[in-house]
Amino acid sequence: MTGPMNAAPTERYPTGMIVIHWVMAAAMIAAFVLGKVMEDMPDGPEKIAALGWHALAGLLVLALAIPRFINVLRGAAPAPEGPRRDVIVAKAVQGVLYLTMLALPVLGMTAVLTSGATVSVAGLFDLPAGAPSESLHALAGGVHGAVAMLFLLALVLHVAGAMKHALILRDGTLARMIPFLRR
């Protein structure tokens, strides 16, 4: 155990990490929802437009992952606290979330670049058509979808852990990432 059960966490996340966390969370959830919506859309201009917004959200996640990882490697994030088992689970879930932050945009870009089509990213710029490869496109797209489901599972576990701290343990852990909560 790294601290008493109901002891208040000792540190807050730096403001920059809090902002990056919530912007990335919104972008990842938006990308996931758009991806699921696109599955049921017929091919056409609406689906292509949705793909552009999905790509924009993914590129935002990838761009923000870099400073987030740098801050984590620098030790800017406070260490998880609680019983050893809970710390191990928290670190594992966080690791899966970090993995998906990198893997999903890279796999998505691979799928786009091997499709042979130019994709407009929300009308801001175009992702150029790369060398078409049906097999690589299908593989990247399939793995992208599987990793998205892994992201959803990790997100549910992450939120469940946060709710456990907020509603059961009432230990102030959530206040480390939500600035307006009292500690």
- Tens-digit pLDDT profile for residues 121-131: 999 999 998 99
Provide the domain count of the chain: 1
What pLDDT, on a 0 to 100 scale, did the predictor assign at position 85? 94
The helix/strand/coil state of 41 is coil
CA–CA separation, 41 and 113 (whole Å)? 21
CA–CA separation, 156 and 162 (whole Å)? 10
Six-digit token pair at 137?
């496109």
Q: What is the pLDDT of residues 18-60, one digit of tens each?
A: 999 999 999 999 999 999 999 999 999 999 999 999 999 999 9
> Shortest CA distance to 52 belongs to which of 123, 113, 143?
123
Q: What is the pLDDT of residues 110-120, one digit of tens each?
A: 999 999 999 99
Domain-embedded: residue 182:
no
Place of tokens 């496109």: 137
Q: How far is CA 104 from CA 21, 31, 34, 82, in A?
A: 17, 10, 13, 30
Domain-embedded: residue 10:
no
Q: Give exposure, 98-127, as e/b (b: 16+ Cβ within 10 Å).
A: eebbebbbebbbbbbbbbeeebbbeeeeeb
CA angle 46, 51, 55 (to 5 degrees): 150
Domain-embedded: residue 8:
no
Domain-embedded: residue 9:
no
Q: What is the pLDDT of residues 55-92, one digit of tens each?
A: 999 999 999 999 998 888 888 888 888 889 999 999 99
The mean per-residue pLDDT over the stretch 104-110 comes to 96
Domain-embedded: residue 148:
yes
Give the structural domain span for 53: 15-176
Domain-embedded: residue 97:
yes
11 pLDDT tier (thresholds 50, 70, 90):
confident
Query: Lowest-confidence range among 7-16, 94-103, 132-141?
Result: 7-16
> What pTM was estimated for this model as a whole?
0.86
Domain-embedded: residue 115:
yes
Domain-embedded: residue 150:
yes
Asked if residue 52 lies in contact with residue 123, where contact means CB atoms within 8 angstroms, the answer is: yes
What pLDDT, on a 0 to 100 scale, did the predictor assign at position 4? 39
What pLDDT, on a 0 to 100 scale, did the predictor assign at position 173? 87
What pLDDT, on a 0 to 100 scale, did the predictor assign at position 43? 93
Six-digit token pair at 69?
């990882």
**Percent composition of the chain: helix, strand, coil (DSSP 3-state, to 5):** 70, 5, 30
pLDDT over 70 percentage in the chain: 93
